Amino acid sequence: EIEILTGIRIGNEDDIKKASLLLLDKGVKTVIAKAGGKGAYIVERNKFVHIPAPEVKVVDTTAAGDSFNAGFAFSLSQNKDPEDCVKFANMVASLAVTAKGAQEAMPDMKQVQDFINKTL
């Protein structure tokens, strides 16, 4: 999505910084840039943090973005800070890509908690 919003082709971390700064210059307070299996980045005016995703055996990436967004939104609704939201979202998305399908791959809270406990 960041490529569409900024017109900057993302190929590396510097591109993520450049595109994020463009969005920050337009008034966005915090940019969350997803990087697939590499995790995600949190970018603010004086902050650039990479939060890696756990390594998993990928079966199907169909639900990866949606599951990340759902995990992030859930954490945000629990008043978590952006770093904790991204960490949780990474876990949800990483778990989702280990199963085939979209809706079928979406984990429930118990599955996510078990995965977090096993991974950490």
Cα distances (Å, whole numbers) of residue 56 to 40, 45, 50, 94: 15, 32, 18, 7
Is the pLDDT at 120 greater than 80? The verdict is no
CB atoms under 10 Å from CB of 6, counted, come to 18
Active-site residue list? 66
Q: Output the pTM of the full model.
A: 0.89
Q: How far apart are CA 76 and CA 108, in angstroms?
A: 17
Residue ranges in 1-120 assigned as alpha helix (H) = 2-6, 13-25, 64-77, 82-96, 109-119
Task: Kindly state the average pLDDT of the residues 9-25.
Answer: 97
The residues, any chain, with a CB within 8 Å of residue 11's CB and separated by 6 or more, are none
pLDDT at 104: 84
The pLDDT, as a whole number, for residue 106 is 86
Contacts of 87 (CB under 8 A, 6+ apart): 51
At 28-84, the pLDDT tens digits run 999 999 998 999 999 999 999 999 999 999 999 998 999 999 999 999 999 999 999
pLDDT per residue as tens digits for the range 94-116: 999 999 988 888 888 999 999 99
